[in-house]
């Protein structure tokens, strides 16, 4: 009989509607979020202030460009121009070869069409 009562209690518990309740109050949660945001902002401001302080002590003329050898620069420029001219000549030769091949293909297609037309015309009609 004890088991019967237990099953009745379990049945009533399973058919109830349950709602989650927050463990902490709304005021406490909002206060914690505001505190976390304030501490993050303070930490970021301190990091930026430290970075600016470190940077203020360095001289401003650190980024001077190295001197450039004019003769070496002109030699490199001439070499690059020569390579560009060679590349252009090679591309022109390849394009000329491709154009010639395309013309040959067109001519051969025309001849093939002509020959196919001739072979169809020569076939005798089937006698029935």
pLDDT tens-digit series, residues 10-21: 767 777 777 887
Task: Read off the pLDDT of residues 5-58 as tens digits, 9 standing for 90 and up.
Answer: 556 667 677 777 778 877 888 899 999 999 999 999 999 999 999 888 888 876
Neighbours of 48 (CB within 10 A): 10
pLDDT for the residue 58 = 66
Residues whose CB falls within 8 Å of the CB of residue 22, separated by 6 or more in sequence, listed in order: 29
CA distance 41 to 35: 10
Confidence of residue 1 (pLDDT cuts 50, 70, 90): very low
- Residue 50: which H helix or E strand, with range? helix 26-56
């Amino acid at each position: 009989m004890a088991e019967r009562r237990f099953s009745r209690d379990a049945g009533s518990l399973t058919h109830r509607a349950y709602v989650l309740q927050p463990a902490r109050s709304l005021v406490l949660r909002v206060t914690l979020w505001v505190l976390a945001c304030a501490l993050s902002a303070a930490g970021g401001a301190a990091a930026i202030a430290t970075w600016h302080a470190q940077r203020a002590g360095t001289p401003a003329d650190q980024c001077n460009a190295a001197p450039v050898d004019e003769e070496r620069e002109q030699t490199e420029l001439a070499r690059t121009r020569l390579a560009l001219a060679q590349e252009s000549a090679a591309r022109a030769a390849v394009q000329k070869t491709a154009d010639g091949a395309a013309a040959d293909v067109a001519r051969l297609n025309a001849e093939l069409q002509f020959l196919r037309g001739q072979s169809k015309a020569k076939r005798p009609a089937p006698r029935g």
